[in-house]
Structures are given as structure tokens and as C-alpha cells.
Structure 1
Amino acid sequence: MGTGSFVGIAIVATMLPAIAHADDPRDAAMRDAAARAHDSEMTRQLNLKAGVAARATGQRRTVLAGGGDYAAAMRAHDDEMARYARNRARYEHDMAEWRRAVAACRTGDYSACDY
């Protein structure tokens, strides 16, 4: 084993006790009622944020699955797809012009090199 392997093992061995005791109910830092209340409030806030995110995801799925205004969601989707197709066609056109200019420049038409 190389020196790097021993260093890696030493780092993991040092972190293992901290990882193993992260949720220890007998944690000395949680003996204080204020610390437990703070920890509980932090957990509650995280759960609230996760709940908001889950509800937002659920609402999007409901609209797409037929709940809510399905017709409006389909129109919005169709509009986005049409916008994408227009943008893609414009991109392809611009790339074709650029390729023609590059080809002309390489054949000696130096006026096309400024494209």
C-alpha cells in the first residue's frame, strides 16, 4: 500500500466516530433542554421546507395528470414545443450560413471570412 492509502484510511478512521454518533440519543450536547429545543426547531424548519417542495412537485404532477386545468397545461406545453422548434430552426439556419461562410473563406473568398 502506498502512503496515500494510509492517509485515506487515517482520515476515515478519524471521521468514523463522529459519523457513527451523529444521531446518538445519549449525546452530551443534547442534555440541555435549550439545545434539544433548538435541534427540534431546526428539524421542524427543514421538514417544513421539504413539505413545501413536495407539495409544489405534487401540484405540478396533478396538473399534468389531469387535475387542475389540464387543457391549459397542454396548451402551454404545445406553445413551448413550438417555441423550441422555431429556435432550433433559427439555429440550424444560422449554422448553415456559418458553414457556407467558412467553406468560402477556406477556398479563398476572404470577404466571407468576416462572417
Structure 2
Amino acid sequence: MKLGSFVCAIAMAASFLPTAALADDPHDPTMRSAAARAHDRAMIKQMNQRQLAYVRQRDARNMRTYRVPQRDREAYADARADYARKMAEWRRAVAACNAGRWEYCDN
């Protein structure tokens, strides 16, 4: 009974392991001719182009929905500039502290 449970557990664990996705079979008899491979390549290219068009349209719709107001963009830019200024001051203080200027070591 315990052996059966163990085998079942192993089988379940193996089913969750990742497996390599199999691409086109190089021995597929329908893909032996150059014309068949060219047709397959053209179909895949067309599917990719349709998907790209779909993604671009979807992203354009989402941009209208998630548009950030100008004042929020300006506030973000101001906050980033303030952060960059404070970081530059801190780096100068660290460099001065490391150079032996002890009054900068308290920050």
C-alpha cells in the first residue's frame, strides 16, 4: 500500500516538472520540400504580424485609459530632480568624511 502511494507521488511530481517544448519535427515528411518550408515560414510570419498589430492596438487603447496628467508628470520630474540633488549632496558628504573631514561624518 505504501509503495503504491509512493509511486503515485513520484508520478505526480514528474508531471509538474518542466519539459522541453518540441518544435517542428525535422523528420516530418510534410516539411521535406523547400516549398512546404517556405509556406510554413510565410504563415508564421503572417501570424506574428497579426499578433504585433493586435498588441499595438491594445497598447494604444491602454494609453488612452492610463494617460498621466501633465501636472503629475511635472511633479514626478521635480521629485526625481530633488532626489538626485540630495543624493549628490550625500555622496559629497561621504567623500568628505572618507577624506578625513569629520564634520561631514555625522550625516
Q: Which has the higher helix share?
A: 1
Q: Decide: shared fold, TM above 0.5.
A: no
TM range (shorter): 0.3 to 0.5
The TM-score with structure 1 as length reference comes to 0.42
